[in-house]
Chain A
Amino acid sequence: AQSVTQLDSQVPVFEEAPVELRCNYSSSVSVYLFWYVQYPNQGLQLLLKYLSGSTLVKGINGFEAEFNKSQTSFHLRKPSVHISDTAEYFCAVSERGGSEKLVFGKGTKLTVNP
């Protein structure tokens, strides 16, 4: 069965600084990978996804992530964060051709300070 580890539960950064949120996954088969964002008191919203092709994936709000198969990682990056990026970020994995479960990591709380 697949699993996801988000290495940092909280990441505080200053506005306009770069940020990287780390995600590692485990699966015995090929996977689809996702990053979702949850703003306070809201549901989850898709930031970006990797299905196949280029390992560098660009998403909404200036975020991007790179799929690294050898490292089984899918880290999320943004070169310059804004106060409005303060939210919880979830990495998720689904096995290709397998069960339909989308398994989420425990989340990383990103706090952007002025």
Chain B
Amino acid sequence: DSGVTQTPKHLITATGQRVTLRCSPRSGDLSVYWYQQSLDQGLQFLIQYYNGEERAKGNILERFSAQQFPDLHSELNLSSLELGDSALYFCASSPGARVAGELFFGEGSRLTVL
């Protein structure tokens, strides 16, 4: 158990809909990272938040947004969903802002768009 909690574990929805994925980092970790894992693209970095502020941005679509709240949990919002958004979405956390340390991954939220 990494200490990172993601909900929901599975989500099935239709094209055009909007979903919210939630992540609670390990106790004491200030950074939260979101990754998308799909068969064709592999693991793609989406975005990082550190202590409530956006720290780094990756291949995140404009239809996607994220935020980190004062209690350090994070939410990833996916809107106008397309079939190609079906993937496993991972959240990871780390104590500091820099990646030189270890990232602790949750078990992921599997999104299926029909």
State which residues 21-76 of A face B: CB under 8 Å: 32, 36, 41-46, 49, 51
Give the interface size bracket for A toward B. 20 to 34
Contact status A43-B108, CB under 8 Å: yes
The stretch among B12-20, B67-75, B95-103 that forms the contact with chain A is B95-103
Determine the chain A residues whose CB is within 8 A of the CB of B48 once the complex forms: 100-101
Q: Contacts A94-B100, A106-B42 hold; do A100 and B105 have CB atoms under 8 A apart? A: no
Give Cα A46 to B97, complex, Å: 18
Report the number of A-B residue pairs with Cβ-Cβ less than 8 Å.
Answer: 54
Chain B residues bordering chain A, tally (CB within 8 A) = 23
CB distance from A23 to the nearest CB of B (A): 13
B99 and A41 within 8 A (CB): no
CA distance A107 to B56 in the complex (A): 23
Residue contact B107 to A103, C-beta cutoff 8 Å: no
Give chain A's interface secondary structure class.
loop
Interface centre among B56, B90, B100, B108 (most CB of A within 10 A): B100
In the assembly, what is the distance between CA of A107 and CA of B38, in Å?
11
Contact surface of B with A, Cβ cutoff 8 Å: 2, 4, 33, 35, 42-43, 45, 48, 55-56, 58, 90, 92, 97-100, 102-103, 105-108
Could you pull out 11 A-B pairs where Cβ atoms are within 8 angstroms?
A: A32-B99, A36-B105, A42-B107, A43-B105, A44-B105, A46-B102, A90-B43, A94-B100, A99-B56, A106-B43, A107-B42
- A-side residues, CB < 8 A to B, are 32, 36, 41-46, 49, 51, 90, 94, 96, 99-107
